[in-house]
Amino acid sequence: MVVLTVIEEELSAVLEEFGATHEISGSGCWAREASDESMFPVIVTQCVDRSNLPAMESVRDLIEDWQPEYVLLVGIAGGIVRSKDGENLSGPSPGDVVLIEYVHYGEYVKRVDSQRLMRYYAVSHPSADLLHRHAKPLARTEWFVDLPLARPSGDHGGEPSLVAGEIVAVEFLAGDATASEQREIFGQYDHALAVDMESAGVARAMDRASNSVHYHPRWLGIRGVSDRTAADEKAESLLVDNDAERTAWRDYAACAAARVARLTVQRLLHDARPPQAEDQGAPGWGVEQ
């Protein structure tokens, strides 16, 4: 299992939540102390940089070095909110955690005749089976109890929610709904709950990693909402300052995501798996001339 973070606040929260205090020399990764230095059930690391291309490169390198069965992308994201009945907002609140079900890459489009036509390439979306069996059930538990950081004061008191839904990956900080590009993108993905800058890169790398019948790694994305970004101008007018909200909630959102990640990993790796027999190979097949 590899847990991938991006910014320093995410890395610190995950290292603390997982108790990963042992630096694996020369790897840029951390783990709990292990009696067998060749076997770490969980390692924690940080992406080489922000955005989708560095995330893709980081996952590619991690797969080459460690051959993990699972990759978890853990950290913060912006929650996408929309105006509702002119007075209220619909969408996640700061401190909520979004489990990624489906990844949209909002940058890959064709522009023609003032239209924005979506284009696609192959990616591996988060595992529906892992979500169903291990991550989503946490929503019915008190997963947020005793988080190491207190919930910031303000209009979002109470208990954080754990929800599953779509995410949009972009290459810019989506904090201004007055920008036509942002409204245009979010308007096309009307069910998306959050926006980040790394999930499409991870999804692409995971698709490329499944290059053999003997190796098919799966992944999950766990994103704490640090701030809200609007899908329309009316919603924008109902929001507080985006930067101020992110500053207030970033650390708490990272801690909340790290907690959900740790509980998910505990469920995934609860039982040790016995060793498997070596693969015996298979004959080829061809057409005789």
Which pLDDT tens digits describe the chain residue by residue (289 residues)? 999 999 999 999 999 999 999 999 999 999 987 766 667 899 999 999 999 999 999 999 999 999 999 999 999 999 999 988 777 889 999 999 999 999 999 999 999 988 889 999 999 999 999 999 999 999 999 999 999 999 997 666 689 999 999 999 999 988 777 787 888 899 899 999 999 999 999 999 999 998 888 899 999 999 999 999 988 888 888 888 888 999 999 999 999 999 999 999 999 999 888 887 777 777 777 766 4
**What's the Cα-to-Cα distance from 232 to each of 85, 171, 248, rounded to whole Å?**
13, 19, 23
Does domain 74-268 sit in CATH 3.40.50.1580? Answer: yes
> What is the residue type of 97?
V
**pTM, two decimal places:** 0.93
Question: Is 167:193 a contact under the CB 8 Å cutoff?
Answer: yes
Q: What is the pLDDT of residue 56?
A: 98
Question: Is 220:126 a contact under the CB 8 Å cutoff?
Answer: yes
